[in-house]
Structure 1
């Protein structure tokens, strides 16, 4: 007796690379990628970050070269982080016009401001000797409203240096409204705000703390979100939109694709995701051990974030992924 053949054959449209390209439901483009970059004060050569193979703390000279490489690759933007030589309790270097982040911002705006969206991290953690994202009160707790005053000063410094998009990553209540108000009051109406709305207290930030030489002791669970809470992430995103954010962020990406999908479904503004240092380092480590195909894993991880709803992705593979896409590796 002959077994009846299936009536429906979905495999037809998977048969060749040309078919698979034609019917792909999620497409990844270089212009949707943003490269996070670290610029370190007081070094004469780029400093490799041991926990993030292939990523360095740039000198101002190597930074210029990397900016042009990023622009030539056709990615969408760069997100800048400063690594200062000196830290103090209030993070005074963060709003110093001659501080490393503001110097780097002026360089980026001058070198590639017409080709890339120059973005800056607006947070105190790289600049404080205690490593928290805000200033501390007398009891050693993060003082939300005092931190907003520092964010206002940082916003003016970064906008004046030429940042097109301020990345508010500190997770203080009211941060978007505070920054929007001070920008508008000083004529920076065209400077956009990226609200790190759903930023979770994740274990995946470990390598980043080496990258910025973080001084943190303890944790940030009183201001970053509990990994157990998805609806809270949606709520935070809605608050940031209401306060004037031009873009909202979900961070990390890979372990929070459900949150990303929910935020993307509800948001009237673009939604981005940050593929954080731990996500990067896990794939690099597995590939170095021969356990996975590195290039396939890189592109698959990025496609999964786009598939979940991200309009843009911050990733340390931005330039490499752009070249892979140009070479057809995503086919």
Structure 2
């Protein structure tokens, strides 16, 4: 058996163990004593909703917590492994909540290879309440498994703070590019980088590592500061990848239909295009960006190609990877695998 096959086998086994923890946590939430003697209808609906929206996708955010714990403490006990996976699912609950809400706000069609939850005929705007349910699953789970730990309050503060940072990023995204109002002058690189840092980087990269550090007792300010700097930069790189895949990825492969152009998003591609556009290109972008017609979307993508944005992204990806590797190598406050385990999962990803 090759090393690659062995690694994939280990990864698949770890994912199965992680999924088993979900089933336990899901049932704890659905049957929480604070709900009393609830009707079977509510139980069935909650189970369907959590199963549809949570244990899918790559699960990289959630599984990263255990990777961090094992990097810091190689001989992690079974109890510590379980706690890491519980925190991982708290992050996946947060991710599920964000995606349910984001799909409604963006009018998205598919998510993770299936119709968006709100798109199901029997769901519709019930999905708003379901998103709130998913967010509350985080705090029920933290209560159930960490209330007796000395770092319980720290975990609560961490999840509240990162949620607020992400909400701020989403707010900036929505008000910078409101549906129906196209103002390309707002699409600057500074605005874009703030949106992606707050909307994506904090919860997707900083939060899993911070959880792993907290649960293993790492409280050093220098370690937290170093982690934050590297992980926010990694999160920016990840979101720029996502913007690229939205326009140039295969929907069958990435599991969703990209709608950034139709949704008038302040994406890396349009920001980059505006920095290189001729007067004619800019005129066409103003005419077609943020419009739902397929012909207009195709024209915007053609402009991206004419301006060489596919090559620009490849150059950016190579340079970002090089810089991140250098920063990871230079820091000495945390094991390098804390960061490389995350970076290796996203470098040159295609979905």
TM-score (norm 2): 0.31
Query: Which structure's residues are more often helix, by fraction?
Result: 2
Query: Which structure's residues are more often strand, by fraction?
Result: 1
TM-score (norm 1): 0.32
